[in-house]
Chains A and B, each alone.
Chain A
């Protein structure tokens, strides 16, 4: 048991936390962008799975891992566009449209994978991302090696957090996005194109979700398995609520989840006589507990779930 307090263990745990948080950071930021504009995107789980599959497939075929990342982003954008068509242009129920996207995209991902690879006994693999050790920073005692020996996608995820904050709070576009999400009538009457703004957010958000999914097949693992996402999309939606629709607070949530995920992997390794499924369950349970703690004072974007049609009234 003394291993738990070991420096190498701590360092490993920090590294694992960062790794496990990475796909969630991408997905959570993507979902925050969508929800801030007033659209709940329940397509997230399916988009991530399509991203994971596409990233893997393209990397496998082309040998270029960055092409895989790009393809995952593009697929995410297309599915984001489909979500925008259903929920924004047609104004359909956001709940059901999103679930439709998830079911469709999940089916499609497995369909295309089977089509391409058949049912091999040993799953095909790719050469995944390598971790990059940042000089100087990684030499900080205790936390350095864990924090700064990471995949490039993890560093990108970290950069995206301030970028998203600045976008939302300091730019003209961000003010438009927030206004569209709070009250589309206000936005419309000052000349902001509500549908276009929401579509943009869903498309960019979709790209982030796609890349988040791709991280799992291109860095975390080197193969595609059907259960690779394992509900991380839903966890990201919970993190958005937990973070009160704020990129920084949402990221804190993903770190907690990443920590628990990393911890359960480590503890499995330590060999405690508890079925590993119990550890797997803990992050989901604690996510629910986290939701309980914040839900009463959640500041939901006021226009979330509401379709906007200008000429709705009859008088």
Chain B
């Protein structure tokens, strides 16, 4: 298929640098009409950058782009949109306070003169909804929608602009398995009409499921191109990582000990004062990893903030060891020897403009080891951070280097080093490997397992089911702030977990 046709998109010799990093190096990429082409590669391989170039969001340093046979000089997304290229970013950017209608029609000229014509636009959108089976109330405010619904809005937005080349960046990361099925159906109906889809992903199974053709990127270069029918996940994994992908997770059999973290009847509201968590109960024991699966936005953020001491719940008790956690006080969580890995490591965990050392010392700087009468013992602090840098093999110009100069994997290592340095009894890790490459991911998994062996009880919150299955002793699923069910790590089935994730009871 494909090869005999003229490509609808032809990118050749694309090179893009960001400071020291070469994100794309001499890439050639073709897209044919009526196909779903998967762009496969691990985090940081340059997939998103390449597509941002096609979308006009980034400009390439070298290379040429032809769209529908014409050379395209793309200096802004509007140049791409006018040529029929649309892109839905992974963390798609929405405006919570806008209505669905406003989000869809902005920038697309409808209506007479300077005024907006909501009436005509509403009708047009309802027609689109009919045609593609994307049902959303056009007058709903965006913040009231679920992430899956917001994604539908994004697709509608692209269709409203008459896009026939649709780029989707990791679209399933935010979806439950059933929603993924629905999305795939929509994508198939789009290509049947002659549109083309680029599907960016690092998940082998879904790439095999949805695509007609697969282009594999590694370290900014195209390393292979395969027709989906002629390849398999094993080969793809090998191509993607450059070696056999067999993360050897060797889990020792350990008997869980005393409970170290108990969450009892927890209830909480979110920033909009809507219920986020209702009647949640959990126990984590020594030597145990409790995996919490679930699509993000189902109360995980609020739960973490409560456990981390940053948010006060409306109901309930949390016990760490045997002492109650003082709500709204991160200092209390630190005192109770909790290691905390927040999902938003850049915004919550780290101070990017400070040095590595200043980040390492954050939770310890008031301990008597590191100060006397308010004066910092700089020699001891230096020793402390040098030790951690070598213990966690952090690649940095030194303890005085600005934290923002570190790579994503090393940032997470700084985070781990700080949080685990005190040998915590409880570790709560939220999305600890999100956005990291395979090497860093493996490192972090090994660390978490080591902590389990040491005797820590670990609550692992993740939307990556592979990670949950690989590490957990027990698995719970969170949906709309409630625990839908619990299964033992060894016996849990993906189907059952998937159902719970979409809110289906047994």
Contacts and interface: CB of A to CB of B under 8 A. Distances in A.
Direct contact of A and B (CB under 8 A): yes
Interface of A: 170-176, 178-179, 182-183, 185-193, 299, 302, 310-311, 313-315
A191 B81 contact: yes
Given A179-B106, A188-B57, A191-B107, A170 B19 contact: no
B190 interface: no
Given A179-B95, A182-B98, A190 B106 contact: yes
Q: Is the interface of B mostly helix, strand, loop or mixed?
A: loop
A315 to B, nearest CB: 6
A191 B116 contact: no
Contacts of B97: 182, 299, 302
Nearest to A174: B116
Contacts of B94: 183, 186
B373 interface: no
**Most A CB atoms within 10 A — which of B58, B76, B93, B95?**
B95
Given A176-B107, A189-B77, A190-B81, A170 B93 contact: no
Given A186-B103, A299-B97, A315-B23, 19 more contacts: A170-B115, A172-B114, A173-B114, A174-B116, A175-B105, A176-B107, A178-B98, A179-B106, A185-B89, A186-B94, A186-B106, A189-B77, A190-B157, A191-B82, A192-B78, A192-B106, A192-B107, A302-B96, A315-B44
A176 B109 CA distance: 11
Contacts of B89: 185, 189
A306 to B, nearest CB: 13
B76 A191 contact: yes
B108 interface: yes
B49 interface: yes
B18 A183 contact: no
A186 B18 contact: no
A187 B78 CA distance: 10
Given A183-B93, A185-B93, A172 B111 contact: yes
B21 interface: yes
B56 to A, nearest CB: 9
A261 B344 CA distance: 48
A170 B96 CA distance: 18
Contacts of B95: 178-179, 182-183, 186, 302
B18 A311 contact: yes
Contacts of B111: 172
Nearest to A169: B116
Contacts of B114: 171-173
A163 B77 CA distance: 31
B497 to A, nearest CB: 30
B121 to A, nearest CB: 11
A179 B105 CA distance: 11
B60 to A, nearest CB: 11
B106 A189 contact: no
A186 B103 CA distance: 9
20 contacts: A170-B116, A171-B115, A172-B109, A172-B115, A172-B116, A174-B116, A175-B106, A176-B106, A179-B98, A186-B103, A190-B106, A190-B108, A190-B161, A191-B81, A191-B107, A193-B76, A302-B96, A310-B58, A314-B21, A315-B18
A273 to B, nearest CB: 49
Contacts of A186: 93-95, 103, 106
Contacts of A171: 114-116
B87 interface: yes
B102 interface: yes
Nearest to A191: B78
Given A170-B115, A315-B44, A189 B18 contact: no
A59 to B, nearest CB: 33
A88 to B, nearest CB: 16
Contacts of B116: 170-172, 174-175
Nearest to B21: A314
Contacts of B103: 186
A179 B19 CA distance: 30
Nearest to B103: A186
B21 A315 contact: yes
Contacts of A315: 18, 21, 23, 44, 48-49, 408
A315 B58 CA distance: 11
A189 B57 contact: yes
A195 to B, nearest CB: 11
Nearest to A303: B95
B106 A187 contact: yes
A187 B95 CA distance: 10
A189 B87 contact: yes
A191 B77 contact: yes
A191 B84 CA distance: 13
Contacts of A182: 95-98
Given A179-B98, A188-B77, A190-B77, A311 B58 contact: yes
Query: Shortest 8 CB-CB distances between A and B: which pairs?
Result: A191-B78, A190-B107, A185-B93, A314-B18, A182-B95, A186-B93, A189-B77, A191-B107
A151 to B, nearest CB: 29
Contacts of A314: 18-19, 21, 23
Contacts of B408: 315
A313 B106 contact: no
Interface in B93-132: 93-98, 102-103, 105-109, 111, 114-116
A315 B96 CA distance: 26
A302 B93 CA distance: 12
